[in-house]
Amino acid sequence: MIPSTVDRLLKPLHRWVWLDPHRRGRKLLRFAETEADGGRDLSRAAELTADPLLRRLYLRHSQDEQRHAELFRVRARQVLENAKASTLEVNWLTPGERGLDDLRVDATGEDALLAFLHLSEKAAAGRFTLYQSVLGTDEGTREVFREILEDEAFHMSYTRSQLARIAPRKQGLRLWQARAGRLWKTYLRLATALASVLGTVVLRAQYFLILPIFALLARRAQRREAPGFAKARGSNLTSQY
């Protein structure tokens, strides 16, 4: 499984993200959640399909996802046990590319589902291979990824072969459509993350730069008005007597 060109270029960034034990544990928990979600969606896909072979394959895939979720969950607890809290999660920088949260299983055709699954499994395998390579001396987490990657090879193989069986003439089109959809959703995810970062920067700039200026101007205005207010108040008191 070869990581994408972008991921290889960002390898130093991935290494930094995974270096902190608390971030590492939190990311493993996040992977556990998405694996479990994907397993539930695959169970639903098995219920909906009329193809007996696909039903068996989806059920096996679902069981694999649930097992992966437990592997991630157990390892996350072990990593977090003695880890100090981190102030920066940056989950959007190293997504797991897992689960079917971007797809409505009930409203998706069999061929489109297989194309989506194939590309998702391929992307996940590439990223998990990269994460395994940047974990350094964390042999426990490396072993978790190593075990999961053995299943990913099967998932990539069966989804591709079944797509060719179900839609021999449209498999290229379905893969292209699924790839375009993934690119669009990646753009939306990055745009949302960037907007969040910029929003945080702007709010902090307002708090630390603009508000002190207004406070200073308010104090100056108060000092300028204070003598006049005291003089006017004194004149009023004199006139009363």
Please, how many CA atoms are within 13 Å of residue 188, restricted to the half-sphere of its CB? 7
Instruction: Report the C-alpha gap between 188 and 117 in whole angstroms.
Output: 20
Q: What is the domain extent for residue 136? A: 5-199
Yes or no: say if 108 and 160 are a contact pair by the CB < 8 Å rule: no
Among 28-42, 46-60, 71-85, the least confident range: 71-85
Counted residue by residue, the chain has a size of 241
The mean pLDDT value of the chain amounts to 82
Q: Is residue 183 part of a domain?
A: yes
* Residue 14 CA: distances (Å) to CA of 38, 124, 125, 135, 161: 24, 14, 15, 9, 32
Q: How many domains, the chain?
A: 1
From start to end of 148-227, where are the E strands? none
Q: List b or e across 202-232, with b for residues whose CB sees 16 or more CB atoms inside 10 angstroms.
A: eeeeeeeeeeeeeeeeeeeeeeeeeeeeeee
From start to end of 37-104, where are the E strands? none
pLDDT tens, position by position, 61-108:
999 999 999 999 999 999 999 777 654 555 544 444 444 555 678 778
Whole-structure pTM value: 0.73
Q: Is residue 238 part of a domain?
A: no
Q: What is the pLDDT of residue 47?
A: 94
Q: Is residue 215 part of a domain?
A: no
Instruction: Report the C-alpha gap between 43 and 36 in whole angstroms.
Output: 11
Q: Is residue 206 part of a domain?
A: no
**What's the CATH number where 158 sits?**
1.20.1260.10
Measured in whole angstroms, how far is the alpha carbon of residue 106 from the centre of its chain? 24
Contacts of 128 (CB under 8 A, 6+ apart): 1, 145, 148, 149, 152
Q: Is residue 189 part of a domain?
A: yes
Residue with tokens 């993200």: 17
The answer to whether residue 163 scores a pLDDT higher than 80 is: yes
Contacts of 79 (CB under 8 A, 6+ apart): 21, 24, 25, 28, 138, 140, 141
The answer to whether residue 20 scores a pLDDT higher than 80 is: yes
Q: Is residue 93 part of a domain?
A: yes
Q: Is residue 234 part of a domain?
A: no
Q: Is residue 210 part of a domain?
A: no
Taking residue 190's Cβ as centre, other Cβ atoms within 10 Å add up to 13
Average pLDDT over every residue of 110-125: 92
Tokens of 207: 């708090």
pLDDT tens, position by position, 193-233:
677 667 777 777 766 777 777 777 777 777 776 655 555 55
Instruction: Report the C-alpha gap between 2 and 161 in whole angstroms.
Output: 20
